[in-house]
Amino acid sequence: MLVSWTPNRRFYYVRSKVDADLHAAQTRRPSTYNEVQILQVIRDNCIKNLRDAGEVSPWVFLICSWNWDKYDFPLLQETLENELDDQKRHTFILALPNISTKILEKKKAELKKHIWKLALVSGAIAVIPAPGLSFACDIAILMVNMKRYLTAFGLDDNSLTRLAKQVGKSVAELKSVIKAVPLANSISKEWVVSLLSKFACAAVMIAEEALDLIPVVGSLLSGGVSLGTTYYMLNSFLNDAAKDAQNVLAKALS
């Protein structure tokens, strides 16, 4: 895969399907097959062609679409993380395939960084003395971000279907180890409200609406309650989603 570039923009060349080249070489010359040497030949050929095309210092990464943890993919991942700005790095990490415990931990850490920001938004909205507004906004914040966490960890029907095909297992097998959270497709306003009730947070948030009726002090207290509730719920849900994602990965690789 050749990525186009412009002045002042970094350039990377990603050579995919190296597993096919290795398989072909092993089939043709099994007695002299040497994986390290063959990969080096592919790399050298890519570098030569890129230099002939005018790229002085080409970055070449050899990868396989079916084995993301092999060849140069870990190096490519590390390189991009170091080179990208914060916003692009965040997007890149969340888009990584869930193929290792290390990647799942990185996603969890990246998502956890933003929980305080969401909680602060929730608290700021709660200060506005408008009955019903804070509760509705908190539900929306929780619903949107819980879905986002599950999708990032591959805990949705489409992701599980793709993973099942890739590892030769049934979707039902993978779903059987998901214990703490529902699938992303099941998250709804009603489900979030029921979760709040289960954790005895709904009563707190309703009390928060009553606090809104108390001038100044009520608004400040309401903001604190909303901030704490949103932070607790998102942090708890993220931890549960990460554990279930680890369970799915272990089941897929077993």
Q: Is 198 inside a domain boundary?
A: yes
**Pair (173, 131) in one structural domain:** yes
Indicate whether 121 and 233 sit together in one domain. yes
When the pLDDT of each residue in the chain is averaged and rounded to a whole number, the result is 79
| Confidence (pTM) | 0.72
More confident residue, 126 or 50: 50
Report the alpha-carbon distance of residue 239 to residue 234 in Å, rounded: 9
pLDDT at 211 over 80: no
101 inside domain: no
Q: Is residue 105 part of a domain?
A: no
Mark which of 65, 83, 101 sits at the end of a domain. Answer: 83
Q: CA 76, CA 195: separation in Å to the nearest integer? A: 40
Is 103 within a domain?
no
> Which has the higher per-residue pLDDT, 52 or 114?
114
- 51 and 142 fall within a common domain: no
**Are 124 and 231 within one domain?**
yes
User: What is the model's pLDDT at position 53?
Assistant: 79
247 with 161, same domain: the answer is: yes
Residues 157 and 197 in one domain: yes
With cut-offs at 50, 70 and 90, classify the pLDDT of residue 235. very high
Q: What percent of the chain has pLDDT over 90?
A: 22
Listed ranges 3-7, 24-28, 193-197; the one with the highest mean pLDDT: 24-28
Quote the pLDDT of residue 151: 94
Are 154 and 70 within one domain?
Answer: no
* CATH code for the domain in which residue 23 is found: 3.40.50.300
User: Does pLDDT of 164 surpass 60?
Assistant: yes
What average pLDDT does range 141-157 have in this prediction? 93
* Same domain, yes or no: 162 and 205: yes
Q: How far apart are CA 48 and CA 70, in angstroms?
A: 23
On whether both 75 and 161 belong to a single domain, the answer is: no
pLDDT in tens, 53-100: 777 777 888 887 666 677 888 888 788 777 777 788 888 788 877 878
Q: Where is the domain boundary, 83, 105, 132?
A: 83
Point out the domain boundary residue: 40, 64, 83.
83
Q: Which residues span the domain enclosing 130?
A: 115-253
Higher-confidence residue of 112 and 226: namely 112
Q: Within this chain, do residues 241 and 128 fall inside the same structural domain, yes or no?
A: yes
Inside any domain, residue 98 = no
Q: Is residue 109 part of a domain?
A: no
**Tokens matching residue 6:** 């412009």
Q: What is the mean pLDDT of residues 208-221?
A: 48
Checking if the pLDDT of 4 tops 50, the result is: no
In a domain, 99, yes or no: no
Instruction: Collapse the DSSP code of 61 into the 3-class scheme (helix H, G, I; strand E, B; otherwise coil) and give the result.
Output: strand
What confidence score (pLDDT) does residue 220 get? 43
Taking residues 23-31, report their average pLDDT.
Answer: 83
Distance of CA 124 to the CA centre of its chain: 27
Per-residue model confidence (pLDDT) at position 22:
82
Q: How many CB atoms lie within 10 A of CB 125?
A: 22
pLDDT at 217: 43
Considering the domain architecture, whether residues 122 and 207 belong to the same structural domain is answered as yes
Please give the C-alpha separations between residue 29 and each of 26, 32, 33, 36, in angstroms, as whole numbers: 5, 6, 6, 15
DSSP state, 181?
A: S
pLDDT, average across residues 99-104: 85
* Count of domains for the chain: 2
Residues 237 and 137 in one domain: yes
Whole-number pLDDT of residue 67: 66
Residue 148: inside a domain, yes or no? yes
